[in-house]
Copies of this chain bind each other. A is one copy, B any other.
Amino acid sequence: MIENPFYSHEIHGDYDVVSIGRLDLEEGGTIPDCHLAVATFGTLNEAKDNAVLVTTWFSGTHQIWRDVYIGPEHALDPGTYFIVVVDQIGSGLSTSPHNADGPNAALAMSDFPHVRIGDDVVAQERLLREHFGIDELALVVGGSMGAQQTYEWAVRFPQKVRRAAMIAGTAQNTPHDVLFADALVAAITSDPGYAEGEYKSNDDVVAGLTRHAGIWAVMGFSTEFWKQEVWRALEFDSKEAFMAGFLEPYFTAMDPNDLLTQAWKWQRGDVARHTGGDLAAALGRITAKTFVMPIDEDMFFPVRDVEPEQRLIAGSELRVVHDVLGHLGLFGVAPTYMPQIDQHLGELLAAPA
């Protein structure tokens, strides 16, 4: 375990850390005492039918959902819904390599086991049932790796998911995505300061984390984002200033092993492992009313990778989100982004399911 001030209430505001006990992992390891960080908004009604689960993306936490997606002016309105945002395993707030201690001490740092999207979803289901008494969800929604978790929920627990919205992600990770994440991983692990995962501080790996940010710059945003200098909207004067003032510090604050745990999971997201590799059969299990929402400028979850999956989901709709930022449009920087998300999620929540 090492101290990293980024993973704190000071940075991430209010959240609870809840133990769900022992979690046996799909890949064979075990987390003896799995903790999930969870932030809630609104109140569970008596019928317990107004719960919305939000899942988180690579490097993201409940914070961005709280700050951008959730509020009285949004479809995810805490006045109507009980919104539960669960930070993924390896997020740095839930059980993660850098914070493993006590009963999890044997999992610290490079000893952390491989975790899969399915493990997160099993953990989340237990948290909702045992801690909140929630047995069904009005909506599961997530972006990117959060979309992977949402697919997993809809396939694994179809009777519990009334509606599902997958933003900028796929049910089955693509080979190109695997290579992209390989490049991200290599940027970190090649830093001598990484020390095979046994660094003393994320500061030891600042060079690798900076290169990792540099690759995100190329793939996370669209070519048009850079050409149109959309970073000016964030009040930077140059792309160099945007990199040095935004994208690099965003990642260098984080824990390398935590990011690698998430990357390993991301690369292996695949609901078809429930059906012996048959993606159509897996997606055929979904009974939720489903909106599949790729971002049109996404460089690594392009619409054409997303749409064939959507077509395998009965009664689903493809709702393309238009955003020049590309994948990292998920940050909600463009003023035209959230109105689209709210429109789609609002329609979905209003639909019978």
B218 near A302: Cβ-Cβ < 8 Å: no
Query: How far is it, in angstroms, between the C-alpha of A222 and the C-alpha of B224 when the chains are bound?
Result: 17
A226 near B174: Cβ-Cβ < 8 Å: yes
Instruction: Tell me whether A106 is interfacial, beta carbon within 8 Å.
Output: no
CB distance from A303 to the nearest CB of B (A): 11
Mark contacts of A274-312 with chain B using CB atoms, 8 A cut-off: 1 yes-contact digit, 0 otherwise: 000000000000000000000000011010110000000
Instruction: Tell me whether A246 is interfacial, beta carbon within 8 Å.
Output: no
B305 near A218: Cβ-Cβ < 8 Å: no
B223 near A211: Cβ-Cβ < 8 Å: no
Chain B residues whose CB sits within 8 angstroms of the CB of A180 once the complex forms: 218
Chain B residues whose CB sits within 8 angstroms of the CB of A190 once the complex forms: 190-191, 207-208, 211
Instruction: Please tell me the size bucket of the interface on A.
Output: 35 or more
Instruction: Tell me whether A249 is interfacial, beta carbon within 8 Å.
Output: no
Q: Which DSSP category, helix, strand, loop or mixed, fits chain A's interface?
A: helix
CB distance from A187 to the nearest CB of B (A): 7
A217 near B305: Cβ-Cβ < 8 Å: no
Instruction: Tell me whether A25 is interfacial, beta carbon within 8 Å.
Output: no
CB distance from A247 to the nearest CB of B (A): 10
A223 near B191: Cβ-Cβ < 8 Å: no
B226 near A176: Cβ-Cβ < 8 Å: yes
Given contacts A223-B176, A227-B176, contact A182 B214 (CB under 8 A): yes
Query: How far is it, in angstroms, between the C-alpha of A339 and the C-alpha of B179 when the chains are bound?
Result: 30
Q: Given contact pairs A215-B218, A223-B304, enumerate 7 new A-B contacts (beta carbons under 8 Å).
A: A174-B226, A174-B227, A176-B225, A183-B214, A190-B207, A215-B215, A223-B305
